[in-house]
Amino acid sequence: MNQKGIAPLAIVAIIVVAAVVVGVGVFLATRGEGVPGEGEGEGEGEGIAGASSLDYKVDMTAPEMGTITSRFRARNIGTANMDIRADIDTMVYILSGSQREGWVYVAGQWVSFSDMGYNFDEQWNQYVGSLEQYEGYLSGWTGGEWSGTFGGYTYRIYDIDVNPSLPDSLFRPD
């Protein structure tokens, strides 16, 4: 497939990912000091602060878009080798700290940020900032899920797994 034809789709994909990540981060920031939502879950009271890896799902519902289901995974958190993966409906977005590169899977193929002319550091800073917000605002999380409404969007954050083992294959554009 032509890389030039893919670029506009990749741009839209990156914008959607950014909106979801920033929206969830802002939502959590306005919730206060890590008050767990209702739901079933297991936890040891340490929240996600100090986690070396995370895996969680987010449903964001907006009147104009319906529900967008996402899954976010990160490993080596707090290091220069941190890897981040966001699966948003049919799109996948990967940032590799060790390789200083990112990729987006859209329209049936992987496209690298460098091939699209994107600045890796800008994307990296956005995601790292969101993860730092999660660590701060979910510090009191002890299990279950988070849910609420912010700015007309309804969020549900669930299946939060602290320190899961995440394989290398999740963070490669294969």
- For 148, the token pair is 């609420």
Please give the residue range of the domain that contains residue 19.
3-171
Vertex 76: Cα angle to 74 and 78 (nearest 5): 100
Q: What are phi and psi of 72, to 5 degrees?
A: -115, 135
Q: If you average pLDDT over every residue of the chain, what do you get?
A: 74
Q: How many domains would you assign to the chain?
A: 1
Give the pTM: 0.74
pLDDT in tens, 74-88: 999 888 899 999 898
47-99 tens-digit pLDDT: 677 788 999 998 889 888 899 898 989 999 888 899 999 898 888 989 999 89
